[in-house]
Amino acid sequence: MTFQRCTLTLLGAILALVQVTTADDLTSIADVRPANLRGIRCVVETDQPIDPEIVIAYKNARLYFSSKSAVEAYLKTPATYEAYANHQVIATKQYEQLACPLSGEEPDEDSVTVKIAGVDVQLLCEECAKELAKDTRKEQIEMLFDEEGFKLGKFQLRKSVSESMIRLPKDQVEWEAQRNEWMASLRRSSFASWPDESASLKVNQVLAEENDGVQLRAWEFESRQGTRLRLYVAHRSDLDKCDLVVLNPVDEKGWKEFASTYRVGFPKQFDQIESEKAEKSYEQTKSMFRSFAWAMAYVQVMDGSESAAETTEVTDAAASQDSFASRVWDIRRAIQALRSSEMKDVSLWLQGTGRVSDETLFASLFEPGVTRLDLYGLNPTSVEGAASLPQAVALAMERTRVVIYQDGESGWELPIAIGETLGRKKQLQIRPLP
């Protein structure tokens, strides 16, 4: 989803409980485990057997480790261990295979079954099996169970596991207890590194410029000590009062698309961006401003170790923080900075794409007054923070309207079911990608 397509959509539309835990703490997960864990190895310390009491949730299933230090290593760089994590949820029979992980085609009468590190895998042809047999265990796991192999193999959560992982609340009382537990887990596990929430934003306006009917302003604010970010707000020049402001947290790619668009009308502000001017996108944005009393706001979020703009300085302390928690925090502070301006009482939408949509979703759980979330490319099986994305969507539905853009409703069965139970089904909409 590009910056331009998100703008067009606005015009047209106007379980992973990831925490270090023991069995006694798993009160939000039914006490149902894979029947046989014998021979299962840790996804980090791959030569060590797992400890059944050291478990986190992963893709709405259970992921086992040999030690708490292994969990900590995994949580720092989960992508490093993705193939091993995928292999384990299949080895523990929590996931099942529907297609060949090399070709993506469904098995037929010529398919062969091979055992890869203790897992029976169906491959489409015998020749592939022979070639794969020449590889080491590590090479086989990384070949078949990495992100691409897992997708091609159409591995899916077994229904019995899905139904056992999270108890659906029967009523509002049960939901409130469950919600409080999930939120406490998020604060305790995922976002414990957040700075003092009472720290001053130290907001300072640094830009106010008009051109061709568009006003562009910018404020710098302190996200954490030593880290200042820049928040841009654009709307038509003669707008006295906004009906709506849409905050767009963006990554590096989204930032370049934003800068390419506004560089057309404000070249001096974005000359340092090496990209072509996006005249069509800017004309569409201007047309939107002429038609509606809306403002569009933008902030770039980044890993704690990288600097995204000349106005941003990152300290060693910030660089050492968990990057996911840092980016969620940056979005929260951007919301607060936006609210500190004349946008305080204006209806607020948040819009995120790809990785940033995950972070935007979690940020919305901690900031009041968000009217709507528009999320593109949200992956229901990804591991983010101390709650799965379906859990986070269920939490957000209580606070705001959530619109997810994807093809089909797959992956969001949990929030849909909770919405139906609690009478807020309309709070979640799943729309086709534009």
Task: Provide the pLDDT for residue 247.
Answer: 97
Instruction: Give the burial string for 226-258 (b: 16+ CB within 10 Å, else e).
Output: ebbbbbbbbbbeeeeebebbbbbbbbeebbbbb
Tell me: pLDDT of 424 over 50.
Answer: yes
Three-class SS of residue 379?
A: coil
Residue 77 structure tokens: 């760089």
Answer whether 259's CB lies under 8 Å from 251's CB: no
Helices (H), ranges, 113-203: 126-133, 137-144, 147-152, 159-165, 172-185
pLDDT confidence tier of residue 308, bands split at 50, 70 and 90: very low
Residue 274 structure tokens: 């090496």
For residue 79, what are the contacts with CB-CB under 8 A and spacing of at least 6? none
- Kindly state the average pLDDT of the residues 380-406: 84
- Least confident range from 3-12, 207-216, 306-315, 424-433: namely 306-315
Three-class SS of residue 311?
A: coil
- Kindly state the average pLDDT of the residues 82-90: 93
- Kindly state the average pLDDT of the residues 264-274: 83
Three-class SS of residue 395?
A: helix
Answer whether 203's CB lies under 8 Å from 220's CB: yes
Tell me: pLDDT of 274 over 90.
Answer: no
The greatest distance separating any two alpha carbons of the chain, rounded to the nearest whole angstrom, comes to 71
Residue 423 structure tokens: 């009478």
Residue 405: strand pairing partners: 376, 431
Average pLDDT in the chain: 83
